[in-house]
A and B are shown apart, each in its own frame.
Chain A
Amino acid sequence: QLQLQESGPGLVKPLETLSLTCSVSGDSISNSNYYWGWVRQPPGKGLEWIGSLYSGGRTSYNPSLKSRVTISLDTSQNQFSLKMASVTAADTAVYYCARHEPPIPGFGGVMGLDPWGQGTLVTVSS
């Protein structure tokens, strides 16, 4: 059974870099034909897609966050990571990792985000 688990610091200072890792069990990231993504949810608010990484290393990011975000793969640990630079209080959120099929622009090609990790709360504060 595929399982995802987020980990990383729960508190980050303003203007520093947020770093999170998603550990995957039940599937090999490098051998699968899937994308591995990050989604966040500020307290009491809706969901926001951050970006996704293909098993071959190709990445795609939310245009509104693209300048600050990097998603990368660590095949030796079967993990993928999120780095977000220059964080502010507006980046305080629960961060989730999730899997999805390769998108086909204009045609979907995806069957939703599934499964999700349990999420980890990151607070940006001095």
Chain B
Amino acid sequence: EIVMTQSPATLSVSPGERVTLSCRASQIVNSNLAWYQQKPGQAPRLLIYGASTRATGIPARFSGSGSGTDFSLTISNVQSEDYAVYHCHQYHNWPGWTFGQGTKVEIK
């Protein structure tokens, strides 16, 4: 099983700041990685796939990077609606997809 480790568990950020979330895979997953945003009581929403491609309708302030085992999600100019939990997901190993445990972005 490919273990996905996200860090940190919680990030405290002020509106307007830039924040970077990390996700590390225990094995190489190439660029087969997605990021999701989840707000309380809601389903996850796809933000990024292919490690760096924004999904339809996702604002340009969200960007993804990385390949292999180390990945990051950057939110520039954090808005009030961006406070949420962010999950990474590797889909390289089929049928053994796995997710990270999530990083919570909270208001500072």
Contacts and interface: CB of A to CB of B under 8 A. Distances in A.
A26 interface: no
Interface of chain A, helix or strand or loop or mixed? loop
A103 B91 contact: yes
Contacts of A118: 42-43
A116 interface: yes
Interface string B67-108: 000000000000000000001010111111111111000000
A103 B89 contact: no
Contact of A105 (B42, B43, B94, B100): B94
Interface of chain B, helix or strand or loop or mixed? loop
Contacts of B96: 62-63
Interface residues of A, number: 30
Nearest to B43: A116
Contacts of A96: 43-44
Contacts of A106: 92
B32 to A, nearest CB: 4
A45 B43 contact: no
Contacts of B34: 110-113
Contacts of A46: 87, 99-102
B50 A113 contact: no
